[in-house]
Amino acid sequence: MKDLEIREELHKNHLSHYKYDPNSKVIDELGLCQGSIKIDIAVINGSLIGYEIKSEQDTLDRLPAQMDMYNKIFDYINIVVNESHLESVRKMIPSYWGIVCVKKLQDDFKLETRRAAKKNTHSDSFHISQLLWKEEALDVLKRENLDKGMKTKTRIQIWNKLAESLSKENINAYVREYIKKRQDWR
């Protein structure tokens, strides 16, 4: 099974309830940390949920770096793996990551949840803030009366101001709000 086939199955069956939920947004290939890394699928609703796909053609070489970044951003993280990667992945990922296994059938395959994702407590405000575009981050600062002198600052300075001034929960809520409001950006 290739990445595209697994992704289609995820969308069709595993994530379909999010697609029809007006309070959720499903995004393929969401760029993180100024686009330096991407997660295969992100679900934005009352939480930030990530899905990373590792098909049988994939190696696990990039997984440690991906894990480090995903842990800084997502409330819940799931890895979707082919059976051939299952044992290696179990040894690599934290216990709070969910595992969805791609189980091969005769002429088809199905997805089985092997372990439900648990709340990630390792996320950090600065990395979550980076999901906001500069204008969105400035708008958040304005809404919080923290925008004085910030219009000419760099994105990194603005994200730092958010991370220093607001709770992680507040930043997370703003990020979810702004991403769900975005129109025609994909």
Burial 144-175 (b: 16+ CB within 10 A, else e): eebbeeeeebeeeebbebbbeebeeeebbebb
> Which tens digit of pLDDT belongs to each residue from 38-87?
999 999 999 999 999 999 889 999 999 999 999 999 999 999 998 889 99
> Which tens digit of pLDDT belongs to each residue from 142-159?
999 999 999 999 999 999
Q: Is residue 73 domain-shared with residue 138, that is, in the same domain?
A: no
Query: Looking at the 3D structure of the chain, how many domains does it have?
Result: 2
Q: Is residue 132 domain-shared with residue 98, that is, in the same domain?
A: no
Distance CA 154, CA 175 (A): 18
Distance CA 171, CA 186 (A): 23
Q: Is residue 101 domain-shared with residue 134, that is, in the same domain?
A: no
Last residue of a domain, one of 90, 115, 140: 115
pLDDT at 117 over 90: yes
Whether 120 maps to a domain, the answer reads no
Read off the pLDDT band of 104 (50, 70, 90): confident
Q: What is the pLDDT of residue 139?
A: 98
Decide the pairing of beta strands 76-82 and 98-104.
parallel
The domain of 55 spans: 3-115
Whether 25 maps to a domain, the answer reads yes
Decide the pairing of beta strands 109-115 and 25-32.
unpaired
pLDDT at 184 over 80: no
